[in-house]
Structure 1
Amino acid sequence: MIQPDSRPPAFINLSKELEAALIEIGGALPAWDMAGSFLADATLKRYQAQMESVPLVKEVAATLRHALTGEGGGYAVLRLGNLAKALGTDDDRFLRLATAFAAEVAVPFSPFPRWPLWKDIGVKVDKDPGKSSGIGYNAFHMDLVNATRPPDYTTLLCVRPDPLGGGPSILSDPHAAVARLSENSRALLAKSAYHYGTFFDLHGVGEEYKPFPILDGSDPGEGFVRFTAKMLERSELGQAHADAARELAEELVRGQVSFMLQPGDYLIVNQRRFLHGREALRSGQETVPVADRRLLLQMFLRAPTGAGSAA
């Protein structure tokens, strides 16, 4: 009934029967309430109860969790395109359904009090091209790299791909990349010599971590590889530490996978397993009406205590 591809990326397709059942319950899911930065417990339980009323959801949820945390896994793409067409991506019913799916994995939350649970990532032609809403190459990174408790999962829901055909998503296994480095480079990456970005008005992600090590000595899949390629250009690093980080960046590119998100595709990334980014959008974005440009919605997840969340 579930038809995941046998090759990465782990696309998870829903059966027609399951899609029909989910469309039916789409209108029954209530608007979510928040308790501080996190989805309220009452909302979480209501969503889980509604999803459990559809027998086939249990199988999908198990497949999804295995893709994210099983051996060799770390990311998955739920193909919700037919649900998006039926419910409409500008309709809260579809977002509630996507939120309910996310809640099968971990607890949805927003570390940014000034933004909603789902944050728009559109296209701004006048913004720094390397930013998530820019038009250029968005190099490999983990989100909230400078927090002591980064989100365990980052998720991206595709509303519209680039109409000009650019901007495929890229992912890479940083642990595999680190394993290809020299012992000297790994030793440098384990030093608390790195820093990047600001830390202001953030909730649910601990405290600012500055400086931080890229490698924390944890086993692969357990600890974060605290890396963002942007720190190579925007942080003052000693030459040796910068060279080690640059070597890691090259290995990440060498081991990357790439794919284009389609409308309704929901990418979930385990930040302990994979780093993510995006290839540049196609030139000519200024000719595309703002309402037609690429649009993703981002939400973060915190793993339940004892299921891989930082202490």
Structure 2
Amino acid sequence: MFIDIPSELEAALIDRSLPPWELDGSFLAQSTMERYQTELTATARFEETAAILRHALTGEGGGYAVLRLGNLAKALGTGDRFRRLATAFAAEVAVPFSPFPRWPLWKDIGVKVDKDPGRSSGIGYNAFHMDLVNATRPPDYTTLLCVRPDPLGGGPSILSDAHAAVARLSEDSRALLAESAYHYGIFFDLFGVGEEYKPFPILEGSDPGEGFVRFTAKMLERSELGQAHADAARELAEELVRGQVSFMLQPGDYLIVNQRRFLHGREALRSGQETVPATDRRLLLQLFLRAPAGAGSAA
């Protein structure tokens, strides 16, 4: 699931300067997507690489990919030119958008030592979850672009095949997870993700192996659940950990996760974060993608 950029494509992209993007509401404008595609399709091996990326995300057994953009980041820095290229790759998968009107298209996820350790910007273990779990239309893809890893060496990303974990559960547990008995979080000032879904089922009523697995391990501690439903969700959490993969994102790595297939999280950062200047701490940029209507989990 790690995709290296061919050297001839890297060289061409370093010389390529894409125009600033335009938005249509909170979504990347269609005109920008077409402009980016037109410019990059003419670049050697771009279409081949984009096809490999889409297959890794939606093909059989797939669900996540890491584009290795580190050489581009070294050559261009991680400012506007680099982010436009990353946005262009994302637009080959689905439509980039921001569900948070108060944030730009790319949202910073830094490290704050005084935050809840389990949050994305905290320093502790960030347990398996899908983003915007309590929205009727969660983003189809969540993506994370690594600007800086933890300089102390912690915080590897973790991913787990949600449907494979569900398949290992008992029928009784799956039946409980399919009931609308779960709730988590708040729903405020969001765009493009439908309405608040409360309560919601963890397993949607689609065929096995399809649809969202609406899970966040945080609801086990922060939501009032009946014992049977909590036990079923806890069993799922254990299976997710049992099947997890783990890797450290390097500078320029671009992780894209198909939320209809995989859940994600992060191991704790290494202790001593308070000794690291804020400008040197781990920094990721987050971008969400919406698959075209009727595309399901495919782009």
TM-score interval, smaller chain:
over 0.9
Q: C-alpha distance in 2, partners of 1:208/1:267? A: 27
Q: 1:127-276 maps to which residues of 2 (within 5 A)?
A: 127-276=115-264
Instruction: Report the CA distance between 1:51 and its aligned residue.
Output: 1.2
Which residue does the alignment assign to 1:7?
none
Aligned-pair Cα RMSD in Å: 1.0
For each residue in 1:205-224, what CA deviation from the matched residue of structure 2 results, as whole angstroms up to 9, or x when unmatched?
00000000000132355300
Please report the TM-score for the alignment, with normalisation by the length of structure 1.
0.94
Which position in structure 2 is the counterpart of 1:77? Answer: 66
Matches within 5 A, 1:77-156: 77-89=66-78, 91-156=79-144
Are the aligned partners of 1:140 and 1:171 in contact in 2 as well (CA < 8 Å)?
yes
The more displaced of 271-280 and 34-43 is 34-43
1:86 alignment partner AA = A
Alignment of 1:12 with 2:3, yes or no, is: yes
What residue number does 1:21 align with? 12
- The counterpart of 1:49, out of the listed 26, 29, 38, is 38
Corresponding residue for residue 68 of structure 1:
57
Provide the rounded CA distance (Å) in 2 between the counterparts of 1:222 and 1:100: 27
Q: Which amino acid aligns with 1:126?
A: D
Query: For residues 208 and 192 of structure 1, what CA distance do their matches in structure 2 show?
Result: 13
Mark the runs of 5 or more structure 1 residues left unpaired by the alignment: 1-9
Contact 1:108 1:301 in 2 (8 A): yes
SS of 2:132 mapped into structure 1: coil
Q: Offset at 1:202?
A: 0.5
Query: Are 2:109 and 2:286, in contact at CA under 8 Å, matched by a contact in 1?
Result: yes
Counterpart Cα distance in 2 of 1:55 and 1:106: 22
Whether the aligned pair in 1 keeps the contact of 2:260 and 2:297 (CA below 8 Å) is no
Instruction: Quote the Cα distance in structure 1 between the aligned partners of 2:44 and 2:92.
Output: 14
Question: Aligned-pair distance for 1:37?
Answer: 1.3
SS of corresponding position for 1:195? coil
How many residues were matched structurally? 298
Q: Which runs of 4+ in 1 moved over 6 A?
A: none
Contact map agreement 1:13 1:78 (CA 8 A) in 2: yes
CA distance in 1, matches of 2:57, 2:76: 26
Normalised by the size of structure 2, how large is the TM-score? 0.98
Q: What is the CA–CA distance in structure 2 between the aligned matches of 1:245 and 1:149, rounded to whole Å?
A: 21
Classify the secondary structure of the residue corresponding to 1:296: strand
Q: CA deviation at 1:44?
A: 1.0
User: Matches of 2:124 and 2:169 in 1, distance apart?
Assistant: 28
Unaligned 5+ segments in structure 2 are: none
